[in-house]
Amino acid sequence: MKKTLLLSVAASTMIMAGGDIAPVEPVADTPAVQEKTSGWDFNGQAVVYYQTADNWGNGSVFEQGPADENTGWAAAAAGIQLGAVNKNLLGPIGAGVELSGISSVGLEKDVVSGLVQSATGDLTGAAITQAYLTAGLGNTSLKVGRQQLPKALSPFAFSEGWNVFKNTFEAALLVNSDLPSTTLVYAYVTRSNHSINALSDFAKINKNGDMVHMVTAQNKSIDGLTLTGTWYLAPDMISDGNDVNALWGDAKFTMGDYSIALQGGQIDPDTADKTTAYGAKVGATFGMFDASLAYSSVDDGTVNIANFGTGVKTPLYTQSLLNQNTISRDSDTFKVALGAKALGGKFTGVYINSDLGKTANASVFGNKEGEGTYQQIELSYKTKITDNTTLLAAYINQNDDRQDDDSQNFVRVWAKYTF
């Protein structure tokens, strides 16, 4: 998909790549430029998505049976997404809209038992997943409406990219880059469509309150060092008068082919135990190979260290394809990743080990909580078949000694075509 589908005028003051945010130089106001940028830019993508599991040894992969029965299971969906952006709809006012359609009609009869993701909760349907206005003045920009929020700016309310289509938010996003090497962001977030449920279902991100406030500051004054700090306030999130404050910090330093990163923070409800987490990551690239080692620790607080907007993925460095539940609370986790560019794509191997405490969550697709050990091995291959077509194939083995049968095999395959 072209970048213009993903970035509005509000976000066009920054370039988001690995968490980096950089101001964009203003474009000279010439007739030629005005003619080029004043129209609508249309973009889209088509996706086919499939995943299957043997249900902790109760069946086999590629079976059609539903996940809640004592068999293996499979789920799939095909989707198409169309978007249009006009950065100069009326002077400094811009607009964007995105329509997402998802279906498994036909697939459920012979291949799968359910949808991976839906638009309206039915086997087929469409939803307006983005619809926003933008405005810019100097180094300040505003974006209001349904939109994507990036994890680099919003670690506890971000659009997740693991499913057929990304979830979006109803929010106001204000960005300013007046200070040298510094970007300041304020977000007022009200609703989100879940990354698993129907894309048309925009539920309150704060079930008991009306909104979540976010303030983020990112500084890159020192060459190679990116410092990011974020504060959230969720009024009445627990109950009337019981607010939740969340603080999160991230420091990343890159020097040539080597990198080191630190993160940490807490989610602090007024009337419940706060949850504290921290993590570290080191990485290196050696020609066609890369390697990294990450660690995270989350205590036994009340609220999971996870995305407020979905409750699914986490901002932790140990996050991988299928381990979010076992790292978000009462868990100490190591993650080792090795990558190699070969055969026109990239192969990645990951090993994860989590030591789980008494209040730890059940693993994804598991049903046993509490103390134990969770291990995950994943092998994936990602490649661009053409300039516009990307393919991912992944195999994951989950090993959870709290389950009756402690091992599960899982396969995910998707293909995306952008136009």
* Total number of domains in the chain: 1
More confidently predicted of 223 and 115: 223
What is the per-residue pLDDT for 175? 97
What is the per-residue pLDDT for 25? 37
Q: Which helix (H) or strand (E) holds 32?
A: helix 31-37
What is the per-residue pLDDT for 239? 76
Please state, rounded to an integer, the average pLDDT across all residues of the chain: 89
What is the per-residue pLDDT for 105? 83
What's the pLDDT tens digit per position in 126-171? 999 999 999 999 999 999 999 999 999 999 999 999 999 999 999 9
Q: Which tokens in the block code for residue 188?
A: 């007022």
Reduced to 3 states (helix: H, G, I; strand: E, B; else coil), residue 108 is: helix
Q: Which residues pair with 357 in a beta bridge?
A: none
> Burial, 53: exposed, middle or buried (Cβ in 10 Å; 0-12, 13-18, 19+)?
buried
Percent of the chain with pLDDT over 70: 90
pLDDT(2) > 80: no
Q: Specify the range with the lowest mean pLDDT, choosing from 66-70, 349-353, 398-402, 412-416.
A: 66-70
Q: Which tokens in the block code for residue 362?
A: 């059940």
What's the pLDDT tens digit per position in 93-110? 999 999 999 998 877 777
Q: Which amino acid is at 218?
A: Q
What is the per-residue pLDDT for 238? 72
What's the pLDDT tens digit per position in 204-239? 998 888 899 999 999 999 999 999 999 999 998 777
pLDDT(21) > 50: no
Q: For residue 246, which of 311, 196, 193, 303 has the smallest C-alpha distance?
A: 303
pLDDT(266) > 90: yes
Please, are residues 8 and 94 in contact by the beta-carbon 8 Å criterion? Answer: yes
What's the pLDDT tens digit per position in 39-63? 999 999 999 999 999 999 889 999 8
What is the per-residue pLDDT for 107? 79
pLDDT band at 67 (very low <50, low <70, confident <90, very high): low
pLDDT(185) > 90: yes
What is the per-residue pLDDT for 70? 73
Say how far apart CA 281 and CA 259 lie, in whole Å: 8
Please, are residues 235 and 243 in contact by the beta-carbon 8 Å criterion? Answer: yes
pLDDT(286) > 50: yes
Range of 314's domain?
3-418
What is the per-residue pLDDT for 50? 96
* CATH of residue 172: 2.40.160.10
pLDDT(191) > 80: yes
Q: For residue 16, which of 139, 117, 149, 110 has the smallest C-alpha distance?
A: 149
* Mean local confidence (pLDDT), 314-341: 98
What's the pLDDT tens digit per position in 362-381? 999 999 999 999 999 999 99
Say how far apart CA 60 and CA 57 lie, in whole Å: 7
Please, are residues 275 and 298 in contact by the beta-carbon 8 Å criterion? Answer: yes
What is the per-residue pLDDT for 68? 65
Residues 6+ apart with CB under 8 A from 304: 275, 311, 314, 328, 329, 361
pLDDT(288) > 50: yes
What is the per-residue pLDDT for 35? 44
Please, are residues 347 and 340 in contact by the beta-carbon 8 Å criterion? Answer: yes
pLDDT band at 38 (very low <50, low <70, confident <90, very high): low
Q: Specify the range with the lowest mean pLDDT, choosing from 65-74, 137-146, 395-404, 407-416.
A: 65-74
Q: Which residues pair with 28 in a beta bridge?
A: none
pLDDT(407) > 70: yes
What is the per-residue pLDDT for 44? 98
SS3 content of the chain, % helix, strand, coil (to 5): 5, 55, 40
Q: CA-based diameter of the chain, in Å?
A: 70
Query: Does this model's pTM top 0.75?
Result: yes
Please, are residues 276 and 296 in contact by the beta-carbon 8 Å criterion? Answer: no
Say how far apart CA 9 and CA 27 lie, in whole Å: 13
Q: Which residues pair with 134 in a beta bridge?
A: 94, 143
What is the per-residue pLDDT for 30? 36
Percent of the chain with pLDDT over 90: 78
Q: What values do phi and psi take at 11, rounded to 5?
A: -90, -10
pLDDT band at 113 (very low <50, low <70, confident <90, very high): confident
pLDDT band at 71 (very low <50, low <70, confident <90, very high): confident
Lookup result for tokens 């974020």: 230
